Structure 1
Amino acid sequence: MKRAISACIFTGLTTTALAQSLPVTDDAVFMFNGQEITISRTATLPDTSFDVVSRALSDCIQPCLSPMTAARNVATVGELDVIDFMSTAIEDGSGLLVDARLPDARAVAHIPASVNIPAATVAETNPFRDEILMALGAEHYQGIFNFDGAMDLIIFDDGPATQDAPTFITDMLAAGYPPEKISYYRGGMQVWTTLGLTTTGSAQ
Structure 2
Amino acid sequence: MRRWTAQAAIVLFLAATASSAEERAVAMKASFIFDGERVEIRRDNRDALRFVTHFVSASELCLNACIAPMKAADGVDTVDEAQVLAFLETKVGTNIGLALDARASQDRVGGFIPGSVMLPPRVVDPRNLGRDDVLRALGAREFDGVFNYADAKHLLIYDQGPATDDAGLLVRHLIAAGYPPEKIKYYRGGMQVWSVLGFTIEEGLG
Give the TM-score normalised by the residue count of structure 2. Answer: 0.82
Q: What is the root-mean-square deviation of aligned Cα atoms in Å? A: 2.0
Map 1:4-153 to 2 at 5 A: 24-26=25-27, 27-42=29-44, 44-56=46-58, 61-153=63-155
TM-fit CA distance, 1:50 = 3.2
Point out the structure with max Rg over C-alpha. Answer: 2
Q: Is the 8 A contact 2:61 2:166 kept in 1?
A: no
Q: Is the 8 A contact 2:52 2:192 kept in 1?
A: no
Q: Is the 8 A contact 2:68 2:162 kept in 1?
A: yes
| Counterpart Cα distance in 2 of 1:170 and 1:163 | 11
Q: Quick check: 1:181 aligned with 2:179?
A: no
TM-fit CA distance, 1:45 = 4.3
| Counterpart Cα distance in 1 of 2:91 and 2:57 | 31
User: For the structure 1 residues 103 and 58, does the alpha-carbon distance in structure 2 shift closer, same or farther, using more than 3 Å as the test?
Assistant: closer
Q: Is the 8 A contact 1:45 1:194 kept in 2?
A: no
TM-fit CA distance, 1:141 = 1.0
| Counterpart Cα distance in 1 of 2:125 and 2:202 | 27
Map 1:163-202 to 2 at 5 A: 163-201=165-203
User: For the structure 1 residues 61 and 97, does the alpha-carbon distance in structure 2 shift closer, same or farther, using more than 3 Å as the test?
Assistant: closer
Moved over 3 A (4+): 43-47, 57-61
Give the TM-score normalised by the residue count of structure 1. Answer: 0.83
How many aligned residue pairs are there?
Answer: 181
Q: Secondary structure at the match of 2:25?
A: coil
Give the gaps of 5 or more residues in structure 2. Answer: 1-21
User: For the structure 1 residues 105 and 24, does the alpha-carbon distance in structure 2 shift closer, same or farther, using more than 3 Å as the test?
Assistant: same
Give the gaps of 5 or more residues in structure 1. Answer: 1-21
Per-residue deviation, residues 60-83 of structure 1 (Å, max 9, x unmatched): 543310000010000000100010
Q: Is the 8 A contact 1:160 1:186 kept in 2?
A: yes
Per-residue deviation, residues 94-152 of structure 1 (Å, max 9, x unmatched): 00000000011100000000010111101001100000000000001111000000000
Task: Give aligned-pair identity as a percent.
Answer: 41
Q: Is the 8 A contact 1:24 1:41 kept in 2?
A: no
